[in-house]
Amino acid sequence: MAKWTTDTVLELFELPLADLIHRAQLVHRENFDPNAVQLSTLMSIKTGGCSENCGYCSQSAHHDTGLERQRMAEVDEVLGNARAAKAGGATRFCMGAAWRGPKDADLDKIEAMVRGVKALGMETCVTLGMLKPGQAERLKGAGLDYYNHNLDTAPEYYEQVVTTHRYEERLDTLKQVREAGISVCCGGIIGMGEDRRMRAGMITQLANLNPAPESVPVNMLVPIPGTPMADQQVDPMEMVRTIAAARITMPTSHVRLSAGRQALGEMGQALCFLAGANSIFYGEKLLTTGNPEWTADQAMFTKLGLRAEPVVEGQRRCAH
């Protein structure tokens, strides 16, 4: 029997904000240092030209966003970016490719990237779309720590976001990742036209994965001209409520405050940290969209008394 239902998660969303944040803080402090934040940096290793029609994405070939299609980056370029990210305080380096899924031949270069980043002493994460049988095992063999594959939204709203692949295909990739022994990074996006109940449904889906994802990125839509969702908007306070619901329902997961931080500003981000966020993407770009500058994040951390969470060698930080 599922631990959480959409109705029980919706009840969390509808609590008075002070009560919701208080409850999330109690859960957070039971499982984490409340003043430590895990820092990840995300690099696009293959940009544009994706065959999928995700309505929010600048990289879809179905949308005219003016984004220039690029070939896969070379290993040396990726490792140079990883070194810079580590020097800036990031402990995990994430690599994303815009396509439906990788060809087996693509994995040779990606495996070299993973091994190289691991050799720097950083955790590794890739987001490569949907996997075919045997590919997760290859990535595990290269030393991959995390595989990102977001559910994006609730099942009942999924066809309003993308129609070129099914929700079940995403779940199948997550199953392959788990069976290969790779930790799961899986979250979603708010502000795509869904209502609060659908946001609760997305959190319910994530929380009822067995086990729950070790890393849960929560994104606030960054509207991109040329995409079907260019005119969508959402109340930033819904981001705070979604973070809190994620923290309460997934107590031992790292909850990442992801896309949309620029729109939230410092005060909005501070509320998200109070609500249980304890991970961010660190760096000036998230694949193709903007992100706060490193100096701005450092200044914010100083104001809030936050610090970067260190890597614990030989121990997966998200396992409690």
What is the rounded CA–CA span in Å between residue 4 and residue 31? 19
Selecting among 23, 185, 199, 261, the annotated active-site residue is 185
125 is known as an active-site residue = yes
List of E strands, the chain: 36-46, 92-97, 123-127, 146-148, 183-185, 188-190, 215-220, 254-257, 279-281, 285-286, 289-290, 307-308
Selecting among 57, 186, 272, 318, the annotated active-site residue is 57
185 is known as an active-site residue = yes
Exposed e or buried b per residue across 162-192, where buried means at least 16 C-beta atoms within 10 angstroms of its C-beta: beebebebbeebbebbbebebbbbbbbbbbb
100 is known as an active-site residue = no
Selecting among 23, 50, 170, 261, the annotated active-site residue is 50
Identity of residue 291: N
What is the rounded CA–CA span in Å between residue 93 and residue 40? 6
Selecting among 23, 138, 241, 256, the annotated active-site residue is 256
| Secondary element (H or E) of residue 176 | helix 167-179
What is the rounded CA–CA span in Å between residue 150 and residue 129? 9
Residue 193 to residues 81, 223, 285: CA-CA distances in angstroms?
A: 35, 11, 24
- For the record, the structure tokens of 40 come out as 């990840």
57 is known as an active-site residue = yes
| Dihedral sign, Cα of residue 154, residue 157, residue 161, residue 165 | positive
Q: How many C-beta atoms lie closer than 10 Å to residue 298's C-beta?
A: 16
Residue 309 to residues 23, 151, 195, 230: CA-CA distances in angstroms?
A: 23, 26, 34, 35
Selecting among 23, 92, 94, 318, the annotated active-site residue is 94
Selecting among 54, 186, 272, 318, the annotated active-site residue is 54
- For the record, the structure tokens of 294 come out as 């490193």
Residue 107 to residues 54, 103, 144, 170: CA-CA distances in angstroms?
A: 24, 7, 12, 19
186 is known as an active-site residue = no
272 is known as an active-site residue = no
Selecting among 92, 125, 247, 318, the annotated active-site residue is 125
54 is known as an active-site residue = yes
The catalytic residue positions are 50, 54, 57, 94, 125, 185, 256
